[in-house]
Structure 1
Amino acid sequence: MTISALTKVSEQLCFGGKQIRFTHTSTALSCDMQFSVFLPPQAEKQAVPALYWLSGLTCTDENFSAKAGAQRIAAELGIALIMPDTSPRGDGVPDDADGAYDFGLGAGFYVNATREPFAKHYRMYDYIVNELPQLLEAALPLSDKRAISGHSMGGHGALVIGLRNPQRYSSISAFSPICNPVNCPWGIKAFSGYLGDDKSQWKQYDASLLLSSAESPLPLLVDQGTADSFYPEQLRTDSLITAAKQSAAPAEIRLQAGYDHSYYFIASFIEQHLRFHAKYLIDKICRDA
């Protein structure tokens, strides 16, 4: 793929770097997609590593770029930020029949759907793991060094994708992730709708189940607010803590007193997450040089 596969929608100067929005036609999702990229100033002279950020229910590619305040530290560290949308969109893309917020448009759950009518378009797992990095690393000054992070549904996606593809990422982090979707209302609804009733297929998208049996998991940082209205019923952080102990994973799972599920929480700790990833992204670059 080449730069001609991307259409630039907007570009702003930001902390010496560039905040850019693109559209393109996705093969994996069979529709047009939009995403945002922050290129740090270092990208003017060299290929830079990238942090992929996966957003949560009802979000688009713009929530993180506008609310998290991540660009300042990313510019300092020389890390690109890749912010995809949360689901396929457009004419012909099926939605929840009742227009619910937690299924369908804006709620792709980062799985490859196998149940109709969603199987053609809802393949966010393949899009994030394969198509988007291949496109961007061919078109933009990005190295093949990647980390992955996300919030809520996107935290679930980041954990699952990082755990299933340790060769593709240096580190994983998450804010308020859905840790055990096979055992929470959000996950049960999404997996039933996208994957059907065969619960053996659900397990490949459950971070707690994956982590409990992981042999060489990546470094992991998770923050969960104790005032989060979705904690613990929907997020099941306890299951992830148990899984990390079972696998002796290099995981730090922190309960942050008084914080909720909002972007104020993310903005409070995003610098720590970026510096956490930089230890592995930048160190890996130096080791590979």
Structure 2
Amino acid sequence: MHPLTPTDPCSPCGASVPAEVVAPTLRSEHACFGGVQRFYQHDSATIGLPMRFAVYQPPQAQQGPVPAVVYLAGLTCTEETFTVKAGAQRVAAELGLALLMPDTSPRGTDVPGQSDAWDFGVAAGFYLDATQAPWSAHWRMESYLLDELLPLLGEHLPISVRRLGLMGHSMGGHGALTLAYRHPDRFRSLSAFAPICAPMQCPWGQKAYTGYLGEDRSAWAAHDATELIRQRHASGLPPLFPQGILVDQGLADPFLAEQLHPHLLEQACSETAQPLTLRRHAAYDHGYYFIASFVEDHLRHHAASL
């Protein structure tokens, strides 16, 4: 099957690919476990700049659209980080899962100060739409992912956008948790590695939210996983993932105490009857050796619901 053959044109929840958006450009491809690892670029109408992403298509995609797991990477990362380091393709091929790895922020803007800090600006989009200038011009990662990239892939790749799981690491774990709760009809399964669980209560989140969203903490709460879980419960809605959320956390993670706060996510899930499996692992740190050690468990977790 040609990598850009339209296969699943129906987009979820009314989202659609704008007529002016053209098919993504294939930058490279590599045979991998009977499937193919591809890297793409396209001109994003939402971001206003070229954006890159990676897709692993398992061998089953040759027969038609397959379910997919979207992976959101962390600070300083690109679409290549998980793709190259996690070793996920072997299990994805076995399970018939496509893998989607978007980039972590806009790149190539003329915004002053965009590269001054490793935890804000370039490679630090936090998977939200900025409302504060100058970031609001291009830092629109939430709209980009949900309203542009996923419908685009459903239109041009053998991916069933009605059967999506969502996972991420660190900043991307925050993105997975918050986007799943902000868009409850879009994803069937959820997991995270060392996520930023309560960004309103940690330096990374406070810095990003002040810059991207301003000083109004009510706007911050709309992008805080622990707050979103409690808000859903307060609205009288049932747990979003009755089959459970899977989270892995290394106990040798240098960011655990100050930045990540998994105990706050655990507390919010306990209070709201949201099933959560939070696994704490002695000796594991924040990096990709940790992710590679447990990525198979996460893919099997998603496959069970997809």
How would you bin the TM-score normalised by the shorter chain?
A: over 0.9
Provide the secondary structure at the position in 2 that maps to 1:200. helix
Alignment of 1:272-283 (within 5 A): 272-281=297-306
Describe the shift of the 1:95–1:145 C-alpha distance in structure 2 as closer, same or farther (beyond 3 A). farther
Alignment match, 1:107: 124
8 A contact 1:171–1:277 mirrored in 2: yes
Q: Deviation per CA, 1:224-269: give whole Å up to 9, x if none.
A: 1110000021001111011010110021111111110000000000
Supply the distance in 2 between the matched residues of 1:95 and 1:239 (Cα, whole angstroms): 35
1:46, distance to aligned residue in structure 2 (A)? 1.4
Aligned pair partner of 1:34 in 32, 52, 56: 52
Provide the secondary structure at the position in 2 that maps to 1:232. helix
Alignment match, 1:189: 207
Alignment of 1:232-271 (within 5 A): 232-271=257-296
Letter in 1 for 2:240: P
8 A contact 2:115–2:122 mirrored in 1: no
Letter in 2 for 1:64: F
Alignment match, 1:217: 240
> Is structure 2 residue 150 aligned with structure 1 residue 125?
no
Describe the shift of the 1:95–1:149 C-alpha distance in structure 2 as closer, same or farther (beyond 3 A). farther
Provide the secondary structure at the position in 2 that maps to 1:172. strand
Q: Deviation per CA, 1:14-67: give whole Å up to 9, x if none.
A: 001010000001111111100000000000011100100000000000000000
> Is structure 2 residue 190 aligned with structure 1 residue 176?
no
Alignment match, 1:58: 76
Provide the secondary structure at the position in 1 that maps to 2:136. coil
Aligned pair partner of 1:84 in 102, 105, 108: 102
Q: Deviation per CA, 1:125-166: give whole Å up to 9, x if none.
A: 111222111000000011121000000000000000111222
Alignment match, 2:26: 8
Which 4+ stretches in 1 moved above 3 angstroms?
1-4, 95-98
Percent identical residues: 51
**TM-score (structure 2 length as normaliser):** 0.89
Provide the secondary structure at the position in 1 that maps to 2:100. strand
1:212, distance to aligned residue in structure 2 (A)? 2.3
1:98, distance to aligned residue in structure 2 (A)? 6.4
8 A contact 2:115–2:121 mirrored in 1: no
**TM-score (structure 1 length as normaliser):** 0.94
Describe the shift of the 1:95–1:37 C-alpha distance in structure 2 as closer, same or farther (beyond 3 A). farther
Provide the secondary structure at the position in 1 that maps to 2:222. helix
8 A contact 1:96–1:105 mirrored in 2: no
Letter in 2 for 1:227: A
Aligned pair partner of 2:170 in 106, 130, 152: 152
Describe the shift of the 1:97–1:106 C-alpha distance in structure 2 as closer, same or farther (beyond 3 A). closer
Alignment match, 1:285: none
Aligned pair partner of 2:256 in 223, 231, 238: 231
Instruction: State the aligned residue count.
Output: 280
Q: Deviation per CA, 1:195-232: give whole Å up to 9, x if none.
A: 00111100010001111233332231101111000002
Describe the shift of the 1:128–1:4 C-alpha distance in structure 2 as closer, same or farther (beyond 3 A). closer
State the superposition RMSD in angstroms.
Answer: 1.3
Q: Deviation per CA, 1:98-127: give whole Å up to 9, x if none.
A: 611000000000111000000010010111
Supply the distance in 2 between the matched residues of 1:211 and 1:266 (Cα, whole angstroms): 25
1:96, distance to aligned residue in structure 2 (A)? 3.3
